[in-house]
Structure 1
Amino acid sequence: WQIDQVRRGAEEAGRSMSDIKLDLWAAIGLSDDREQAVDEVRHWVASQAESFNKWRELPDFLRPFEHEFKAASDAYDRLEHMSQHAGHVASVSAELVEYLAFVGTADDCLAQIRSLEPLGLDRVTLAFRAGGRQQRMEAIHQGIIAPLNAPAT
Structure 2
Amino acid sequence: MRALIQRVTEASVSVDGNVIGQTGPGLMILVCAMRDDEGEAGPARAKAMAEKIVKLRIFRDEAGKTNRSLLDVGGGALVVSQFTLAADTSRGNRPGFSQAAPPDEGRALYELFADHLASLGVTVGRGEFGAEMQVSLVNDGPMTIWMES
Q: TM-score, normalised by structure 1?
A: 0.28
Q: Greater helix percent: which structure?
A: 1
Ranked by relative contact order (alpha carbons within 8 Å, sequence separation 6 or more), the top structure is: 2
Rg larger for: 1
| TM-score (structure 2 length as normaliser) | 0.28
- Structure showing the higher strand proportion among its residues: 2
